[in-house]
């Protein structure tokens, strides 16, 4: 009787853990809200590589917007760049979503996908950044962004394949080698 109970409890625990893991186990199950207030499902980007970057308008790395835009223009058929404005590092993204949209367009001509201001670390960390920074979800990486303009590269199948810190410029060969 105990053996049967033990087996049933084990099967139940495995089933529950499988069900719970389904929500965030795949990058393509996630979604975010863009700067215009629209819900964007990440499965929209299936078949493309994805570069996710936490951005800010009042940071020493803000000029990387230019490199991100060039990367977008050069590789947009095979690469989606997703910008996530964040105010998590010394309040370097104080603007509203509308101000962020205007700043990016006027100063850098940004046409790649930008999302609403997002928490990329801490208690209120967005589910996309939970996935990016949890090896239990993405398979290997536990690094949350350490500053603005950290970059995560996802392959055509939704697998996280690389993490780049803020010092790596968007057009560095460490990144562009994936698109040549």
The CB density around residue 20, as the number of other CB atoms within 10 Å, is 10
59 among known catalytic residues = yes
Coil, helix or strand at residue 18: helix
Angle value at C-alpha 66, between 63 and 70, nearest 5 degrees: 155
Q: Which of 50, 56, 59, 120 is catalytic?
A: 59
Q: Where does the chain show beta strands of DSSP type E?
A: 31-33, 39-41, 49-55, 79-85, 113-114, 151-154, 160-164
C-alpha–C-alpha distance, residues 14 and 73, integer Å: 46
Query: Which of 19, 18, 102, 5 minimizes the C-alpha distance to 57?
Result: 102
Q: Please name which of 27, 17, 20, 23 lies closest in space to residue 132, comparing C-alpha atoms.
A: 27
Q: Which residues are catalytic?
A: 59
């Amino acid at each position: 009787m105990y053996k049967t109970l033990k087996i049933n409890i084990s099967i139940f625990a495995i089933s529950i853990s499988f069900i719970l893991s389904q929500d965030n186990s795949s990058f393509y199950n996630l979604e975010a809200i863009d700067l215009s207030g629209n819900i964007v499902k990440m499965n929209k980007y299936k078949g493309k590589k994805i570069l996710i970057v936490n951005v800010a308008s009042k940071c020493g790395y803000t000029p990387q917007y230019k490199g991100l835009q060039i990367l977008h223009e050069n590789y947009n058929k095979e690469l989606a760049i997703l910008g996530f404005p964040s105010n998590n590092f010394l309040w370097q993204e104080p603007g509203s979503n509308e101000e962020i949209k205007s700043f990016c367009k006027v100063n850098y001509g940004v046409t790649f996908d930008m999302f609403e201001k997002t928490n990329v670390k801490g208690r209120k960390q967005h589910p996309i950044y939970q996935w990016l920074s949890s090896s239990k979800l993405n398979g290997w990486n536990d690094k949350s962004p350490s500053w603005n303009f950290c970059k995560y590269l996802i392959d055509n199948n939704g697998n996280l394949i690389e993490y780049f810190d803020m010092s790596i410029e968007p057009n560095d060969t460490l990144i562009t080698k994936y698109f040549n």
